Amino acid sequence: MIFEKQFDEICKLCDEILLSKNSTKEIIATSWLHVIREHSEFTNRYNVLFETKKNFFSLYLLKKLTLTILRIIKNFFFQKNQISFIGNYGQPDILIISHFLNINQTGKEEDFYFGHLPLELQKLNNNVVLGLINHTDENNKKIKSRWKIEPKIHRVIFGKNIKLKYELKIILDLLKNLIKINKLFYKSKGLKRNIYYQVKKELFSVDTINNLKIFYQVKELVKKHKPKIVMLIHEGHAHERIIFKSLREMDKNIKCVGYQHACIFKKQHSLKRNLSEDYNPDIILTSGEKPKKILEENFKKENVNIQQLGSHRFLKKKLLNFSIKENICLVIPEGLPKECKYLFDLTLMYSKKFKNMKFIWRLHPIITFEFLFKKKLIPNLIPKNIILSNNSLEEDIYNCKWALYRGTTAIFTAVANGVYPIYYNYNDTISTDPLYEVENRSSVKNINDLNIIFKNESNFLQIEKLNKSAEYCNKSFEKYNLKNLKEILNESKN
């Protein structure tokens, strides 16, 4: 369990390593060094820094190298799962790099992260291609076969395997960096020494190696197809920075664009952190006015242009009269199984003791109820007052007075449309509430806290206060405005 003071110190020391003169693309590719934000999903990986027990590093390294070499041999002879193309697109004006998280994404025109933006850009007479980093266990051949109709926006699926020469170069370069890190480890002390020790291990992690594979795949793709603009999600992950580096090594004239698509948390770190020029985007497009101001403040001394774009999460405001709505609470966890369990368990306990509320359980698109049932994270018998939703977010929002949440971006869309937010503080050492600046919200620790809010509806559902909260959230996720993007496109064509 990481506390706030420890979190701040880890951020500081990891940044020192990333920004030092000894930093290389292999160190930048080390995901562990990029502290994302305060959620336990990200901070738990740093618990090891405060443990006294240390494994024998030599044995760990031997095991990692053996497994890596065996995987390379297996892939070379048996699994040809390299980059795949869906459609024949020639030379694109814009390459958008997104993520493939679930087999159910196949056959859909809209992208999970960018929504209908690629289609809008194509309407402006641009040849647009959507690249997808495959995070699933499915091979590219199966993914490609699921696209029965050629998509309007052609796809590129980044494979798990790359050319043998690149695989061997990755291992050799990582070993060179290990020698460098090992020297720094012996020169350091305290927490920084512990960090260097962990970096030695993280250099050979699956995440680091996959990030370096993406580096070489992007290089090959850009060399062949020569896009003028490359746009990708800007969340602060290592692979984003590595892609920018890859692009600049191939062609410094390519416009590197990051897109901030999700809410910015109070302790969001790597998204707001500047690295050396080769690893920064030229432009960051934001989802609204509020994140634009936050990023302008953080990058004001750097040569990074911040522009507002908008978001597909925007829903036209439609506040209804609460007196004619049913007493329903929307439950919206993040796309993490344990987050589903936290929120769903709370509503199950509430339903056993109190009978005054209906709940709608809504899942993040990367998780299914079938998965939760299979993993026994929710019971087979669900109370009648709990509805498992298959509706659109818009439909669920318009049916509910309340929303129970933790760290989901969907809460902004709900509040922007007049729903009252209730944050569940589940033993948090650092709050992960994305609405930390909104006054008209509540925080609960148990079902009794929740019942007090539901019983005193008139104290919370006040239209004036709901409108003020809605205005705040609307500035975080605004309607698409392609004017700024058109200017970027015109500049790249000249």
Q: How many structural domains are present in the chain?
A: 3
Answer yes or no: do 437 and 371 share one domain. yes
Per-residue pLDDT of the chain (494 residues; tens, 9 = 90+): 789 999 999 999 999 999 999 999 999 999 999 999 998 889 999 999 998 766 678 888 888 888 888 877 777 666 665 788 888 767 899 999 999 988 888 888 889 899 899 999 999 889 999 999 998 888 888 888 888 788 889 999 998 788 888 989 999 999 999 999 999 999 999 999 999 999 999 999 999 999 999 999 999 999 988 999 999 999 999 999 999 999 999 999 999 999 999 999 999 999 999 999 999 999 999 999 999 999 999 887 678 899 999 998 887 655 555 556 678 999 999 999 999 999 999 999 999 999 899 999 999 988 999 999 999 999 999 999 999 999 989 889 988 999 999 999 999 999 998 899 999 999 877 889 999 999 999 999 999 999 999 999 999 999 899 989 999 999 999 988 888 788 877 776 66
Express as a percent the part of the chain with pLDDT over 70.
Answer: 95
CATH of the domain at 444: 3.40.50.2000
Question: Is 365 inside a domain boundary?
Answer: yes
* Among candidate residues 312, 242, 321, the one with its CA nearest the CA of residue 276: 242
Adjacent-strand bridge partners of 73: none
Answer yes or no: do 102 and 196 share one domain. no
Structure token pair of residue 247: 């692009």
Q: How many residues can be counted in the chain?
A: 494
Question: Is 397 inside a domain boundary?
Answer: yes
Integer Cα distance of 244 and 231 in angstroms: 10
CA angle 151, 152, 155 (to 5 degrees): 55
Handedness of CA 284, 287, 288, 293 (dihedral sign): negative
- Among candidate residues 98, 128, 158, the one where a domain is terminated: 158
Question: Is 249 inside a domain boundary?
Answer: yes
Q: Which residue has the tokens 């559902």?
A: 461
- Cβ partners under 8 Å of residue 405, min gap 6: 331, 332, 333, 343, 411, 414, 421, 422, 423, 424
How does pLDDT run across 41-89, given as a tens digit for each residue? 899 999 999 987 666 788 888 888 888 888 777 776 666 657 888 887 6
Classified as helix, coil or strand, 145 is: helix
Largest CA distance in the chain: 69
Integer Cα distance of 27 and 275 in angstroms: 12
- Cβ partners under 8 Å of residue 464, min gap 6: none
Q: Which residue has the tokens 């929740």?
A: 450
Answer yes or no: do 192 and 259 share one domain. yes
Answer yes or no: do 55 and 123 share one domain. no
- Among candidate residues 158, 189, 218, the one where a domain is terminated: 158
Question: Is 246 inside a domain boundary?
Answer: yes
Answer yes or no: do 334 and 440 share one domain. yes
What is the helix (H) or strand (E) element at residue 7, kind and residue range? helix 4-19
Question: Is 64 inside a domain boundary?
Answer: yes
Helix, strand, coil content of the chain in percent (nearest 5): 45, 15, 40
* Among candidate residues 34, 87, 455, 90, the one with its CA nearest the CA of residue 268: 34
Answer yes or no: do 53 and 110 share one domain. no
How does pLDDT run across 121-155, given as a tens digit for each residue? 999 889 999 999 998 888 888 888 888 788 889 99
Confirm if 199 and 17 have CB atoms less than 8 A apart. Answer: yes
Answer yes or no: do 95 and 25 share one domain. no
Confirm if 216 and 166 have CB atoms less than 8 A apart. Answer: yes
pLDDT of residue 493: 66
Range of the domain at 131: 84-158
Integer Cα distance of 422 and 415 in angstroms: 10
pLDDT of residue 16: 97
pLDDT of residue 385: 95
- Among candidate residues 158, 190, 205, the one where a domain is terminated: 158
Integer Cα distance of 117 and 109 in angstroms: 11
Answer yes or no: do 328 and 450 share one domain. yes
Confirm if 292 and 308 have CB atoms less than 8 A apart. Answer: yes
Convert the chain into a string of H (helix), E (strand) and C (coil).
CCCHHHHHHHHHHHHHHHHCCCCCHHHHCCHHHCCCCCCHHHHHHHHHHHCCCCCCHHHHHHHHHHHHHHHHHHHHHCCCCCCEEECCCCCCCEEEEEEECCHHHCCCCCECCCECHHHHHHHCCCCEEEEEEECCCCCHHHHHHCCCCCCCCEEEEECCCCCHHHHHHHHHHHHHHHHHHHHHHHHCCHHHHHHHHHHHHHCCCHHHHHHHHHHHHHHHHHHHHCCCEEEEECCCCHHHHHHHHHHHHHCCCCEEEEECCCCCCCCCCHHHCCCCHHHCCCEEEECCHHHHHHHHHHCCCCCCEEEECCCCCCCCCCCCCHHHCCCEEEEECCCCHHHHHHHHHHHHHHHHHCCCCEEEECCCCCCCHHHHHHCCCCCCCCCCCEEECCCCHHHHHHCCCEEEECCCCHHHHHHCCCCEEEEECCCCCCCCCCCCCCCCCEEECCHHHHHHHHHCHHHHCCHHHHHHHHHHHHCCCCCCCCHHHHHHHHHHHC
Answer yes or no: do 152 and 168 share one domain. no
Classified as helix, coil or strand, 99 is: strand
Integer Cα distance of 328 and 401 in angstroms: 6
Integer Cα distance of 143 and 89 in angstroms: 18
Question: Is 493 inside a domain boundary?
Answer: no
Integer Cα distance of 194 and 378 in angstroms: 39
pLDDT of residue 317: 58
Q: How far is CA 460 from CA 328, 340, 422, 464, in A?
A: 14, 25, 10, 11
Convert 321-358 into a string of H (helix), E (strand) and C (coil).
CHHHCCCEEEEECCCCHHHHHHHHHHHHHHHHHCCCCE
Answer yes or no: do 303 and 358 share one domain. no
